[in-house]
Amino acid sequence: MSGPELVVDGLTVRFGGLTALDALQFRLSAGEFVGLIGPNGSGKTTFFNALTGIYAPASGQVALSGKDITGLPPQQIYDAGITRTFQRLRLASSLSVFDNLMIGNHRNLSHGIIANLFARQRLKNEIEENVAKSRLLLEQFSAPLASRLFDPVSQLTMIDRRRVEVCRALISEPKILLLDEPSAGMTHEETRALMDDLLASRERMPGLAIVLIEHEMGVIERVTDRCVVLNYGEKIAEGSYREVASNSDVRTAYLGED
């Protein structure tokens, strides 16, 4: 593949007088794993929300595989191949793990009224294929979770819910996965386990590019190829973890002057 998969050019988001994201330049190649870091309120989640169509950008361009996707609604961004997880879990906790995964697989399912109500045998085949597909993904991701495919999400532990949320974003085989602070509310050990699962499943999805918002620098150092640092909506540094960590602007943003 030639050239970057995702090109973000001068992306700006404003809330009234506040500029939450200021002319951001960002590039992501197929297969890359990029960390997005910065203090609270620096615009990381805003960036995700602008990318996925939840916020409309004030200016700037976003292109995926050479196609302009700026300002498209979330549904079309998903169809184009960008999926995400949320900082605060957004699973349907009353539904089963399978149902939640299938919400994530929306673009590969049939949604016609006739197909759903009156062609039951075909629908049954489609459902059985998807049960097999879900089971396979869960087994690859975290084997014990596969046996809980039909349990309600409300009966799962926090880390399993995170896993389900990541799998929901992966099952449609996206080009780009956006992970919004998956370690929130988890212990170090749980975060480590989740990241191991993620790295393992990434092996099986060549070309999948991942952007990870994360506060734990140990995680960023271990899993990412490259880091982008935001502060007050602006990119203040970019490079390998080592380069970024020794950057004086970054140290000031995180630790204050002196």
Partner 1 sequence: MKSNRRGYWPVIVTALAAAMFVFLFLYLEQQWEIVLLAVGLIAVLFSSARFGLLRRVELAASDHPRTTIMVNVLAALLVIVLLRNEHFALLMLATVCLYVTICLGLTLQFGYAGIVNFAGIAFFGIGAYTAAVLSLHSALPHLLVIVISGLVAGLIGSLLILPMLRTRGHYAALVTIAFGILFRTFLEVNDLLGGPQGLKVPGMQVFGWSLNDNISLGPLGAVSFYASYAVVALLLAAGAYALIKRLERSWLGLNLDAVRTDETAAASFGIDLPRWKIFAFTAGNCLAGVAGGVYAMMSGFIAPASFNFGDSLLLVSIVLLGGSGNPLGVLPAALLVVVLPEKLQVIQEYRLLLFAVLVILILRFRPEGLLPRRMREYFAGWGR
Pick from 31, 71, 74, 185 the residue near partner 1 by CB under 8 A: 74
Q: Which is nearer to partner 1, 82 or 219 (CB)?
A: 82
Backbone angles phi, psi at 25, to 5 degrees: -105, 130
Is residue 243 within 8 A of residue 32, CB to CB? The reply is: no
Residue with tokens 């150092």: 221
Shortest CB 179 distance to partner 1, Å: 13
Q: At its nearest, how many Å lie between partner 1 and the CB of residue 80?
A: 10
**If binding is defined by CB under 8 A, does position 86 make contact with partner 1?**
yes
User: Which one among 75, 187, 240, 252 touches partner 1, defined by CB under 8 A?
Assistant: 75
CB 28 within 8 A of CB 224: no
Locate the DSSP E strands across the chain. 6-15, 18-28, 33-37, 59-64, 67-68, 82-84, 176-180, 209-213, 226-231, 234-239
183 in Cβ contact with 215 (< 8 Å): yes
| Binding letters toward partner 1, positions 138-177, x by CB under 8 A | -----------xx-x---------------x---x-----
DSSP code of residue 96: B
Q: Which is nearer to partner 1, 126 or 238 (CB)?
A: 126
Binding site for partner 1 (CB under 8 A): 52-54, 73-75, 78-79, 83-84, 86, 90-96, 99, 102-104, 106-107, 109-111, 113, 116-117, 120, 123-124, 127, 149-150, 152, 168, 172
